[in-house]
Structure 1
Amino acid sequence: MIKNRQNPRPELFAHRIIDWQQQHGRHGLPWQGADVYRIWLSEIMLQQTQVVTVTPYFLRFVARFPTIAALAADSQEAVLAHWSGLGYYSRARNLHRTAQLIMQRHEGTFPQQFEDILALPGIGRSTAAAISAFAFHERCAILDGNVKRLLARYHAIEGYTGEKKIEAQLWQQAEALLPKRDVAIYTQGLMDLGALICTRSKPQCPLCPLQTDCAAYQNNQVAQLPTPRPRKVLPERHSTFLLLLNGADILLEKRPGSGIWGGLWCPPQVDSKLLSKVEDAGAYCLQHFGTETKYTLALSTFTHTFTHFKLHITPLLLQVTNKPKKIQEPGRVWMKVDDALQAAIPTPVRKLLQEIQAGRGVK
């Protein structure tokens, strides 16, 4: 909480942010100064993802989908394929759905009213504000993760920033500090300062333009703020991936449209309890896929961590003798490993396919 502290010269806060951004902030990013479509796309991609990671995905995405109309007209499969590896795939599904809604309800033009932007799938208050500020120069406050951290330190606000009460205080401060002009530069400056200077670990306080008024810096609390998320033990799950190969072709199944990896292609997954021994895999494939195996190879178990749980994956590589009709059902497909790497697949599957491509099991 804020302890007997008012906003110290809010106009000076904004001036320092704007001046710092113009001198030291990020410039020349491919979405800066672009049309609203590219600004919207970048804001969605940048949710929980760093600029250095997003940039190549952004460039590849707009090359395939240069306009809202092009994005809406293409398939979700193609959208997910160009998103593959970026994670948080609901963002891609919402992006595609939003493009279709804009074509249907807004005559193909991205809406300008804040409330209309906020009503679109996958767009929350801070993202809608960023789009409004960058695309339409509207006076709207943002509060992404970087800004939460910056304001929590600047005002010495204690408490986990994801808690509603603390988040409400941060929103109040974000609104109070908004300048009356140059909102787009100010907004970019907040993002840049949080990402480059006021970082989670090893912040560069001596280079920060706000240090003279920063309560955390003045009171030697920078390392303690923002208050960390309360520790929570993540549930753990176990799954076996069946990497069924026929020559250099691999069998993939399409995941349900929602949930983890929704709409992506994955190898068949089995509860690890059903395959407690590697020797059981051949019998399982004969029963469920109608194919015999030439050999089975157990690859190293590894862990993939999601937001809400940890998934321990045991990959089993199986060379099968044929491609029976039982396998060739809707939602299942045989692909060349090289082609599968270009499809809509999650990161752990990509890593496994790259191992196979490098020679493990492909004969």
Structure 2
Amino acid sequence: MEQTSFTIPLLFNDEAFRHDLLTWYQGNKRLLPWRENQDPYRIWVSEIMLQQTQVDTVIPYFNQFMERYPTIKELAEADEQNVLKSWEGLGYYSRARNLHTAVKEVVEKYDAQVPSDKKELKQLKGIGPYTLGAVLSIAFNHPEPAVDGNVMRVLSRILHIDEDIAKPKTKKLFEEVVKEIISYEDPSSFNQGLMELGALVCHPKNPECETCPVQQHCLAYEHGDQKDLPVKTKQKKQKVSSYYGLVLKNDEGKFFIQKRPDEGLLANMWEFPIVLQEEFDQKELVNWFEVEYGLSINIYTQGKRVRHVFSHVIWEVDVIYASVKGGQKSDGDGKFVTLEELERYPMPNIQQKIKKLIH
């Protein structure tokens, strides 16, 4: 793999930078529930939730999750369906499944104590380089880099680094940079300070340079090109996949749902059946459902289209409403539940949008 290197400019005063950043952070940090203490379990859960998710969205989820599973042991002993239900609406559900798997291992191997050893923590499912650095530095005060998009944006401007942050090798570069300039006295506040600066001041499009506490250290500000950094190549356009979503009701007024496979996208979540439109038209869909599930159905109306944007694909689902005409449901193929019972089943965001249409 091609290596990228960067040398800290001689004129950059890392000691003064650390002082100014830490002073600002201590006086301006947001009061967030996971900052109430340095409990590694709480910090771990918060960092998993914060992956690809905004802070304001995470706060209520974090609070209810901690209320329901206040200790690692209680989370490890929980049923996966209940854990997924607690995560419902937060998206990226593999995070919840991986966390659940990992806490079970912590209970079994480490007596329910989050390991502070880098090698041990790294082995746990769902712990990537960023989460590893965040937990080690924030919870245990280890001088480890925790490099996310905020940190790369801030440091690309401060140190005038013009490498493409969309490339994996560039993240490695920033990790090496952080290792060189991190505070060994307070690595927890240093890493959080960089993240906080990116969230509150050093915004992607309109950085508030005039109020920035480390403005005098910023080489991009000195050059006047802070809005041109960081360099990031555009992602490929997301593929759009079109589906039919089947809301099927029986003569008892119950709705048909099924559990997704235990591997792959949205694993173990529940759903109204969906099928790719390129595979069936609506008439073929009726025949397919009878063969697949043993039920004869009658489509009586088409509803709205719902849409959900995943990181790699966009799903557009045309909702169609149908009733059961006859037949006998195959064993093991889904179940009929009332609207009230539906609330007990963890459903992904796209399915939540469908469910809202039938209330």
- Check whether TM > 0.5: yes
Matched, 1:261 2:266: yes
> Partner of 1:339 in structure 2?
341
> Partner of 2:74 in structure 1?
70
> Partner of 2:255 in structure 1?
250
Q: Give the drift of 1:4.
A: 8.3
TM-score by length of 2: 0.91
Q: Give the counterpart letter for 1:332 in structure 2.
A: G
Q: Give the counterpart letter for 2:349 in structure 1.
A: T
Distance in 2 separating the partners of 1:333 and 1:12:
64
Q: 1:336 to 1:31 in 2, by over 3 A?
A: farther
Q: Give the drift of 1:31.
A: 4.5
Distance in 2 separating the partners of 1:65 and 1:193:
31
Distance in 1 separating the partners of 2:73 and 2:7:
51
Matched, 1:134 2:134: no
Please say if residues 307 and 350 of structure 2, whose CA atoms lie closer than 8 Å, have aligned partners that are also in contact. no
Distance in 2 separating the partners of 1:330 and 1:34:
46
> Partner of 2:214 in structure 1?
210
> Partner of 2:354 in structure 1?
352
> Partner of 1:225 in structure 2?
229
3-state SS, counterpart of residue 52 of structure 2: coil
Please say if residues 306 and 350 of structure 2, whose CA atoms lie closer than 8 Å, have aligned partners that are also in contact. no
Q: Deviations over 1:287-346 (max 9, x none)?
A: 433334455221233432222222222221213246x6425x336122222332442111
Q: Give the counterpart letter for 1:112 in structure 2.
A: S
Q: Deviations over 1:104-161 (max 9, x none)?
A: 2112221111221111111112211211122222222211121111111111211321
Please say if residues 94 and 122 of structure 1, whose CA atoms lie closer than 8 Å, have aligned partners that are also in contact. yes
Q: Deviations over 1:197-220 (max 9, x none)?
A: 112222222221121221222222
> Partner of 2:104 in structure 1?
100
> Partner of 1:178 in structure 2?
182
Matched, 1:188 2:192: yes
Distance in 2 separating the partners of 1:248 and 1:203:
55
Q: Give the drift of 1:53.
A: 0.6
Distance in 2 separating the partners of 1:137 and 1:93:
27
Distance in 2 separating the partners of 1:65 and 1:239:
36
Moved more, 240-249 or 292-301: 292-301
> Partner of 1:81 in structure 2?
85
> Partner of 1:326 in structure 2?
329
3-state SS, counterpart of residue 358 of structure 2: helix
TM-score by length of 1: 0.90
Please say if residues 33 and 63 of structure 2, whose CA atoms lie closer than 8 Å, have aligned partners that are also in contact. no
| Identity %, equivalent residues | 30
Please say if residues 258 and 335 of structure 2, whose CA atoms lie closer than 8 Å, have aligned partners that are also in contact. yes
Please say if residues 258 and 333 of structure 2, whose CA atoms lie closer than 8 Å, have aligned partners that are also in contact. yes
Q: Give the counterpart letter for 1:335 in structure 2.
A: V
Please provide the CA RMSD for this pair.
Answer: 2.2
Q: 1:172 to 1:320 in 2, by over 3 A?
A: same
> Partner of 1:201 in structure 2?
205
Gaps (5+ residues) in structure 2?
none
Q: Give the counterpart letter for 1:233 in structure 2.
A: K
User: Which of structure 1's runs of 4+ aligned residues deviate more than 6 A?
Assistant: none
Moved more, 193-202 or 76-85: 193-202
Distance in 1 separating the partners of 2:6 and 2:140:
33
Q: Give the drift of 1:99.
A: 0.9
Q: Give the drift of 1:174.
A: 0.9
Distance in 2 separating the partners of 1:338 and 1:223:
51
Distance in 2 separating the partners of 1:330 and 1:68:
33
Please say if residues 155 and 214 of structure 1, whose CA atoms lie closer than 8 Å, have aligned partners that are also in contact. yes
3-state SS, counterpart of residue 102 of structure 1: helix
Q: Deviations over 1:46-82 (max 9, x none)?
A: 1111111111111111122121111111111111111
Q: Deviations over 1:165-186 (max 9, x none)?
A: 3223211211111112122222
> Partner of 2:128 in structure 1?
124
Q: 1:220 to 1:339 in 2, by over 3 A?
A: farther
Q: Give the drift of 1:264.
A: 0.7
> Partner of 1:158 in structure 2?
162
3-state SS, counterpart of residue 130 of structure 1: helix
Please say if residues 243 and 318 of structure 1, whose CA atoms lie closer than 8 Å, have aligned partners that are also in contact. yes
> Partner of 1:361 in structure 2?
none
Gaps (5+ residues) in structure 1?
358-363
3-state SS, counterpart of residue 275 of structure 1: coil
3-state SS, counterpart of residue 216 of structure 2: coil
Distance in 2 separating the partners of 1:312 and 1:119:
37
Distance in 2 separating the partners of 1:89 and 1:28:
23
Q: How many residues align?
A: 354
Q: 1:124 to 1:4 in 2, by over 3 A?
A: closer
Q: Give the counterpart letter for 1:289 in structure 2.
A: Y
Distance in 1 separating the partners of 2:8 and 2:136:
33
